[in-house]
Amino acid sequence: MSRLGPGDVACWVLKSTRPPELIDPGWREGTVLGLTRCVRRSYRLDLVHPGQPCLLWVSGRTDPGVHALGEVTGGAEERDGGPVLPVRLTRLPSPVARADLLADPVARDAEVLRMPAGSNPSWLSPQQYAAVLAHLPPHPDAALGPWPV
> Global pTM?
0.91
The mean pLDDT value of the chain amounts to 90
Residue 11 lies in a domain: yes
pLDDT digits (tens, 9 = 90+) for 51-101: 999 999 999 888 899 999 999 999 999 988 889 999 999 999 999 999 999
| Sign, CA torsion 62/99/34/137 | negative
Q: CATH code at 121? A: 3.10.590.10
Residue 13 lies in a domain: yes
CA atoms within 13 A on the CB side of 39: 28
Residue 141 lies in a domain: no
DSSP 22-48: HH-TT--TT-EEEEEEE---SGGGGG-
Give the domain range for residue 86. Answer: 6-135
Domain count, the chain: 1
